[in-house]
């Protein structure tokens, strides 16, 4: 089992409402999204199609739309609209206005689709 690293990503105000931001964690780019409903989501930033930056995508309806070619990815499961595309997901939380994620190094454990 891989280790889980709890990481403080700073104040939620660092991400505008309804947008994403890319954080570099342990050498990996992670896209963190702040939903208009107050939700926080974290997925790997690199689109499996042609490496589009998912943090720059538009979010809505629990999904992010890749800014390059429009493939969609579920923010909870990582499942893509184009089978078998899939991205890793990470548990994200908001505690007293601070974002935390439970980061696990690349493994099959947090691929849910």
Based on its alpha-carbon atoms, the radius of gyration of the chain, rounded to whole angstroms, reads: 13
Pick 67 or 105: Cβ nearer ligand FES: 67
- Find the shortest distance in angstroms from Cβ 51 to ligand FES: 6
CB of 66 to ligand FES, least distance (A): 3
Query: What's the min distance (Å) between Cβ of 31 and ligand FES?
Result: 12
SS3 for 66-104, per residue? CCCCCCEEECCCCEECCCCCECCEEEEEEECCEEEEEEC
A 10 A CB-CB count for 24 gives 9
- The binding site for ligand FES (CB under 6 A) comprises 47, 49-52, 66, 68-69, 71
Of the pair 14, 70, the CB lying nearest ligand FES is at 70
């Amino acid at each position: 089992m891989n280790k889980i690293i709890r990481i403080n990503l700073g104040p939620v105000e660092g991400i505008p409402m309804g947008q994403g931001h890319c954080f570099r964690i342990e050498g990996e780019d992670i896209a963190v999204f702040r939903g208009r409903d107050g939700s926080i989501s974290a997925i790997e930033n690199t689109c499996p199609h042609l490496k589009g930056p998912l943090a720059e995508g538009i979010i809505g309806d629990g999904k992010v739309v890749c800014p390059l070619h429009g493939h969609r990815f579920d923010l909870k499961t990582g499942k893509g609209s184009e089978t078998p595309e899939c991205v890793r997901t990470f548990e994200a939380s908001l505690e007293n206005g601070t974002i935390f994620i439970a980061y696990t190094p690349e493994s099959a454990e947090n691929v849910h689709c």
